[in-house]
Amino acid sequence: MIKQKIDNFTKSQEEGLSKLEAFLSTKIDINDINTRVFLLMGKAGSGKAQPITSKIQTPFGEKELKDLKIGDSVYAANGLATCVSGIFPQGKRKVYKITFSDGTETLSDIEHIWNVRRTSGNAKKSGFKNKTLKEIIQKGIIQNSARDKKRKTKGSSKWEIPVCKPVYNNPKDFKIEPYLLGVLIGDGSLVGNCALISNPKKDIEIIERIKPIVEKQGYQVVEIKRQSEEACPQYMISLFDKNQKGSGFINLIKELGLNIHSKEKFIPKEYFLGSINQRLELLRGLMDTDGTSSGGKLKFNTSSQKLANDFCYLVRSLGGVSSKTYTERNESKEYSISFNLDFNPFHLSRKAKKYKKRNLFKTIRDVSFHSEQDCLCIMIEDKEHLYLTNDFIVTHNTTIIRYALEKLLEKDKQNINPHEIFFDMFNLPNVFGITQSHKAKNVLMQSLWACGTFASAFDLKEKIDQATGKRTFERTGKFISDKAVCRYPIKVFVHDECSMYSQQMLDYVLKDTNYSGKIIFMGERLPM
């Protein structure tokens, strides 16, 4: 039996991946099947699990992982929407909390794949690579210098993940223009029967900028008489004609739920779904009023915890990095958000000229065991297979086959060219009956890897019993020998979804073909 002959048998993908290097570096001995054949067994879809309650970023707002369906749109790391092409339940898994340098967190199992690079030295120049969380933990999260050890301080992060691009949405129709709304949230008094804006003389250009915005809607900006010259100027948004019938501007604010005190302020959810420019204008309204820039460092201050959280979310949706701290004053909290962004977040001239573009980065600061939870994983159609989870964190949906072959190519660069790897993909639904394997084939072809079917590789005629679904193969008249001849000059033959193999197909692979290169079987099980 095959199982008795092959020692390169692994019961888990985790175990198998650690042994791939040794197998690939072993020279082929035609008399020893273990130098030719490797069985990489594991549960379908493993290697990329997150808890079902994980938040996923979509063009329609955040969704929990468990609520996604095939065909749903989610954001890829490039900021564009892509489709969910597969959903794979994983059952209960041990999950770990990954904490990043900006304070954001997410959960994954230890086999989940992350797109990372080293933060220093030549390793950083090599770019981002896919590694399991287990590999990251084994290599260490923090690197401590002699100075760190002496001062007993936590060292610098070893690993950096990509920062997402601004997520794309079509422009939306809003009752209040985003920049104006940002100004109102920042410096507006929204409680009462009118909308008031406090604006110092030096920043009069803010008022000049919002005037044409409100005038388009039939309103005007009127300066209120001050008690003294030293008092900060205040402006009211009102109808042009006091005798005109109709609701005041304050009613638009009430419709958004913003007729509230400063400590309760927030950004209405619908504004997160605006276009990149609309969200940027909202940010600029907030920053022109309550934002600062000093030494290239951007900050926003507020007394509202909800607004602080919303501001962080807004920045991250624009491809930025943000972190939140607070100080306690008179039994209340004042929140300060430090952030970095590739866009100038100001219109106000005196602030805009202080903006300095800085490198964006996001590093792993800590990994710790969290709990056991129900998990699942998704597959997306984007060719990079990077999607956005909690707080726009970039994570990976790589399937085990893709990951294994990345490892293969990484370890044997000298001997194996991507074009010398052939994938056996079946034109059948996968184990869970969710996606068609031609999608996986397309993914692999985008990576410049040769793909096809077992029958096409050996010029076999394939027959399917319509009643049972059983596959059989017949040799065509092209064969002049007793064994089927491989059409391709390949060094590694990867048989994916091998749980679908019949004994006849195994006989063809191992006995009835002239192929003598290395063979890797991948899947849940292999008929023995």
**pLDDT grade for 424, boundaries at 50, 70 and 90:** low
The predicted model gives 122-133 an average pLDDT of 80
Same domain? For 445 and 348 the reply is no
Mean pLDDT across 174-187: 95
Q: What is the pLDDT of residue 399?
A: 58
For residues 240 and 170, is the Cβ–Cβ distance under 8 A? no
Q: Check whether residue 367 and residue 283 sit in a common domain.
A: no
Q: Is 54 exposed, middle or buried (0-12, 13-18, 19+ CB in 10 A)?
A: buried
pLDDT of res. 121: 72
Please check whether residues 147 and 186 belong to one and the same domain. Answer: no
In a domain, 168, yes or no: no
Model confidence pLDDT, tens digit, residues 129-141: 888 899 899 999 9
Give 82-94 as a DSSP string.
Answer: EEEEEEEEEEEEE
The percent of residues in the chain predicted with pLDDT above 70, rounded, is 76
- What amino acid occupies position 366? D
**Cα dist from 413 to 26, 39, 297, 420, whole Å:** 14, 22, 43, 12
Q: Are residues 207 and 155 in the same domain?
A: no
- Tell me which residue of 469, 462, 465, 477 sits closest to 508, measured CA to CA: 462
Average pLDDT of every residue of the chain: 81
* Statement: the pTM of the whole predicted model exceeds 0.95: no
Q: Is 268 helix (H, G, I), strand (E, B) or coil?
A: coil
In this model, does residue 90 exceed pLDDT 70?
yes
- The number of folded domains in the chain is 3
Mean pLDDT lowest among 206-215, 398-407, 449-458, 514-523: 398-407
Domain with residue 153: its CATH number is 2.170.16.10
State residue 466's pLDDT score: 66
Alpha carbons 341 and 421: distance in angstroms, whole number: 41
Domain boundary pick from 352, 380, 412: 352
Decide if 267 is inside a domain: yes
Q: 511 Cβ partners below 8 Å, 6+ apart?
A: none
- Residue 83 and residue 210 in one domain: no
Give the residue, 177 or 22, on which the prediction is more confident. 177
Q: What is the structure's pLDDT at 405?
A: 61
Considering the domain architecture, whether residues 23 and 78 belong to the same structural domain is answered as no
- With vertex at residue 319, the alpha carbon angle to CA 314 and CA 320, rounded to the nearest 5 degrees, is 70
What is the average per-residue pLDDT within 498-518?
75
Q: Give the pair of three-digit tokens for residue 348.
A: 């106000």
- CATH for 17: 3.40.50
From 90-94, 338-342, 376-380, 479-483, the region with the lowest mean pLDDT: 479-483
Please report the pLDDT score of residue 426 as a whole number.
Answer: 45
Q: Which ranges of 152-203 would DSSP assign to H, the alpha helix? A: 178-187
Q: pLDDT per residue over 243-273, tens digit each?
A: 554 457 888 999 999 988 889 999 999 999 9
Assign residue 234 the CATH number of its domain: 3.10.28.10
Name the band, by pLDDT with cuts 50, 70 and 90, for residue 177. Answer: very high
**Helix 13-25 crosses helix 400-411 at what angle (to 10 degrees)?**
30
Q: What is the mean pLDDT of residues 213-238?
A: 86
In this predicted structure, what is the pLDDT of residue 448? 40
Q: pLDDT band at residue 145, thresholds of 50, 70 and 90?
A: low
Is residue 194 located within the same domain as residue 248?
Answer: yes
Q: Which domain holds residue 443?
A: 2-43+399-523
List the structure tokens of 513: 């073909």
Average pLDDT over residues 332-357: 95
Q: What does the pLDDT read at residue 21?
A: 67
| Predicted confidence band of residue 45 (pLDDT cuts 50, 70, 90) | very low
pLDDT-based confidence at residue 477 (cuts at 50, 70, 90): low
Using a 10 angstrom Cβ sphere, with 0-12 exposed, 13-18 middle and 19 or more buried, the burial of residue 145 is exposed
- 220 & 344 share domain: yes
Looking at residue 446, what is its pLDDT? Answer: 44
Of the candidates 344, 377, 396, which is a domain's last residue? 396
389-403 mean pLDDT = 77
DSSP character at residue 58: E
The three-class DSSP label of residue 187 is helix
Q: Measured between alpha carbons, how far is 523 from 494 in angstroms, rounded to an integer?
A: 11
- Residue range 175-202: average pLDDT? 88
Mean pLDDT of 196-204: 88
Q: Are residues 347 and 243 in the same domain?
A: yes
Q: For residue range 15-40, list pLDDT tens digits in order.
A: 555 677 677 778 888 778 888 888 77
Residues 68 and 39 in one domain: no
Classify residue 86: in a domain, yes or no.
Answer: yes
Q: Choose the weakest-confidence range: 104-113, 233-242, 385-394.
A: 233-242
Residue 44's pLDDT band, with cuts at 50, 70 and 90, is very low
Give the mean pLDDT of 418-427.
Answer: 58
Please give the average per-residue pLDDT across 334-355, as a whole number.
96
Q: What is the pLDDT of residues 289-334, one digit of tens each?
A: 999 998 889 999 999 999 999 999 999 999 999 999 999 988 789 9
For position 367, what pLDDT does the model report?
A: 96
Is 417 within a domain? yes
Is the pLDDT at 522 greater than 80? The verdict is: no
Q: In terms of domains, do 234 and 297 share one?
A: yes
- Region 397-413: what's the mean pLDDT? 59
Distance, CA of 473 to CA of 462 (rounded, Å) = 5
326 and 185 together in one domain: yes
